[in-house]
Amino acid sequence: MTHAENTNPNEPVSMVANWDKTFAQSNKVEHRKVSFKNRYGITLVGDLYLPKNRGDHKLAAIAVGGPFGAVKEQSSGLYAQTLAERGFVTLAFDPSYTGESGGQPRNIASPDINTEDFSAAVDFLGLQHEIDRNRIGILGICGWGGMALNAVAVDTRIKAVATSVMYDMSRLMAKGLFDSMTPEQRHAALEQLSQQRWTDVENGKPAAGTTNLPDKLPNDANPIMKEFFDYYKVQRGFHARSVNSNSAWTATTPYSFMNFPLMSYANEVSIPVLVVAGEKAHSRYFSEDAFKAIGSKHKELVIVPGANHVDLYDNQAGKIPFDKFELFYKTNLK
């Protein structure tokens, strides 16, 4: 194992060399630990997956991010490795301020910087000699679905984008789940966030928010909490570096999402788009509304029968439509 101390806020927290994923390593894929910087100078750490039987010709590539609060050793790595088995060079990366990537303070999210993280991943992929830089796509899972759609609205180098059980985190934080937040509740949330800034600046550091998930599931837990708990807090999906598994976002993390609508320019997205959601996913409305807003004439919405949100995090239920993702990228990254 290798480990780098975080003496520089822009350097990675660590680069663990041994296999520490929540999924088994494939013998069909070559794996490399890599790092690269985004436009803000933050060092990101990723896992690069390459097909072993790739030959000498340049391949199409896909950058994979998400879910929100996860790390590359969880869902994004599984998607990346599986798509590499199917002929693509793929990159699963930890977003700024999380996982093994750099950035201080820890465990904070930004709609701007995290959108940039996708473009930085494209930068990295485009410099690799195994990759045709004119055939790069991205894939966003859960909260990084919204980041991915925001990225392709501005970065014209990306030739195809797919989302899986996407969340629009700006809509969620600004309006609540199912847009249930009243104007009074929104004002109260803004007041709380604003007052928290006084506390943070007086203490010289940001306070941690409420832990995302409890260590023990309460008897009266709602179905959505149980769904996330049954992935992040148990052996199936637990990872020590994951915010959702073992930590909490900073208390002011929602601040910049409250008035930064990620989908503002979805109508300008013109590249091929694949939007995948679960039939029974509580997040399904995010995917369906995003699909309607996307301006591309080359878009497809796939609703996976019987699948809830977390069913598409891993393939425990056998519901991730990898054949569909493979066909989409092979068709549109020619």
DSSP state of 311: G
Res 159 pLDDT > 60: yes
Contacts of 197 (CB under 8 A, 6+ apart): 252, 255
Quote the pLDDT of residue 4.
Answer: 43
Confidence bin at 9 (pLDDT 50/70/90) = low
Structure tokens at 52: 């072993």
What percent of the chain is predicted at pLDDT more than 90? 95
Quote the pLDDT of residue 46.
Answer: 98
Give the pLDDT confidence of 58-115 residue by residue, as tens digits: 999 999 999 999 999 999 999 999 999 999 999 999 999 999 999 999 999 999 999 9
Res 151 pLDDT > 90: yes
Nearest-angstrom CA–CA distance, 14 and 18:
12
State the pTM of this model: 0.96
Amino acid identity, residue 202? E
Quote the pLDDT of residue 210.
Answer: 86
Residues 178-184 have a mean pLDDT of 98
Q: What are the strands of the beta sheet with 160-164, ordered from one edge?
A: 29-37, 43-51, 89-93, 59-65, 131-141, 160-164, 273-278, 299-304
Quote the pLDDT of residue 2.
Answer: 39
**Average pLDDT over the chain, rounded to an integer:** 96
Nearest-angstrom CA–CA distance, 299 and 212:
33
Reading phi first (left if > 0) and then psi (alpha if -120 to 50, else beta), residue 69 is in left
Nearest-angstrom CA–CA distance, 276 and 258:
25
Confidence bin at 212 (pLDDT 50/70/90) = confident
Res 3 pLDDT > 60: no
Give the pLDDT confidence of 22-70 residue by residue, as tens digits: 999 999 999 999 999 999 999 999 999 999 999 999 999 999 999 999 9
Largest CA distance in the chain: 60
Least Cα distance to 115 among 151, 158, 65 occurs for 151
- The CA-atom distances, in angstroms, between 105 and each of 129, 196, 204, 235, 268 are 34, 15, 11, 28, 33
Give the pLDDT confidence of 102-130 residue by residue, as tens digits: 999 999 999 999 999 999 999 999 999 99
Least Cα distance to 115 among 38, 35, 30 occurs for 38
- The CA-atom distances, in angstroms, between 207 and each of 112, 157, 245, 259 are 21, 38, 18, 21
Nearest-angstrom CA–CA distance, 308 and 281:
4
Quote the pLDDT of residue 236.
Answer: 97
Res 288 pLDDT > 50: yes
Q: Which is higher by pLDDT, 6 or 253?
A: 253
The answer to whether the beta carbons of residues 137 and 158 sit under 8 Å apart is yes
DSSP state of 26: P
DSSP state of 264: T
Res 253 pLDDT > 90: yes
The answer to whether the beta carbons of residues 275 and 325 sit under 8 Å apart is no
Res 178 pLDDT > 70: yes
What percent of the chain is predicted at pLDDT more than 70? 98
Nearest-angstrom CA–CA distance, 281 and 218:
22
Phi, psi of 305 (to 5 degrees): -60, 135
Quote the pLDDT of residue 5.
Answer: 42
Residues 220-233 have a mean pLDDT of 96
Structure tokens at 222: 């709602």
- The CA-atom distances, in angstroms, between 103 and each of 67, 112, 169, 261 are 19, 14, 20, 23
